[in-house]
Amino acid sequence: MEADEERASCLLVKKGVGIRTVSDLKGRRIGTYTGTTQLLYLRLLLKNLRLDPDKDVTIIQVSPQLEIEAFATGQFDALYTIEPSVTIAIERGIGESLVENPRNKYVVSPFPAGAIPFSSRFLKERPIEAKGVYRAMDRAVTFIKKNEEEAKKLVSKYTGLEESIAVKAGIYDWWQTQEVKVEPMQKLADVLLENGELQSKVNVAGMILSEDNFPR
């Protein structure tokens, strides 16, 4: 989940290009990584900032592996991205924050940034193992909430991200299974439907797994 307590996504501006306010983005190039939902969130952000994504700016999408290099070499003047790319750009002196946590501010609040899926086949054929994974995720969330600094170091250990970056990067606020909030998830699904990312309405409540509805 993305909220305002800790940075998870950001609209960065390149240092030295003279962008100090949102209005300074007019006529500029804004980069983001590839993906239709990422493009949608950027367009919604711009519209909420009273900028026309088709007329006021030029949007450039690159692969996630290339966005920092492209930003550094001036292929675009601003970058809409998520952690840890945000911290990498700031720590390397490439960019600075203009809008923090824009998905939470301008799309859905709090913004449900991800989920852990279980296949129906896995649930049906291996219910014991599925329940073990389910409970392990809860324990992982508890660990992150109680040991945030150590959790960030583990990101470095398992992803190869420099520890000096990992410990400064924002971290998502994960929900325990009993804390899952249906309303923001349904709102996001409806946003995706309204903007053509989904072809039919999704009933989010019917997709949430709990101890009570595990196969027996």
How big, in percent rounded to 5, are the helix, strand and coil portions of the chain? 45, 15, 40
Residue 112 above 80 pLDDT? yes
pLDDT digits (tens, 9 = 90+) for 147-193: 999 999 998 888 888 999 999 998 888 888 888 899 999 999 999 99
Residue 5 above 80 pLDDT? no
Instruction: Kindly indicate the confidence band of residue 88, based on its pLDDT and cuts at 50, 70 and 90.
Output: very high
Q: How many residues does the chain have?
A: 216
> What does the alpha-carbon distance between residue 10 and residue 97 come to, in Å, rounded to a whole number?
7
> What does the alpha-carbon distance between residue 170 and residue 86 come to, in Å, rounded to a whole number?
9
Q: Does domain 9-106 have CATH number 3.40.190.10?
A: yes
Residue 30 above 80 pLDDT? yes
Predicted pLDDT at 210 = 81
Pairing assessment for the beta strands 58-62 and 9-14 based on DSSP bridges: unpaired
Residue 14 above 80 pLDDT? yes
> What does the alpha-carbon distance between residue 55 and residue 76 come to, in Å, rounded to a whole number?
16
The pTM assigned to this predicted structure is 0.88
Predicted pLDDT at 1 = 66
Residue 6 above 80 pLDDT? no
Predicted pLDDT at 115 = 84
The CATH 3.40.190.10 domain(s) of the chain lie at 9-106
Instruction: Kindly indicate the confidence band of residue 216, based on its pLDDT and cuts at 50, 70 and 90.
Output: low
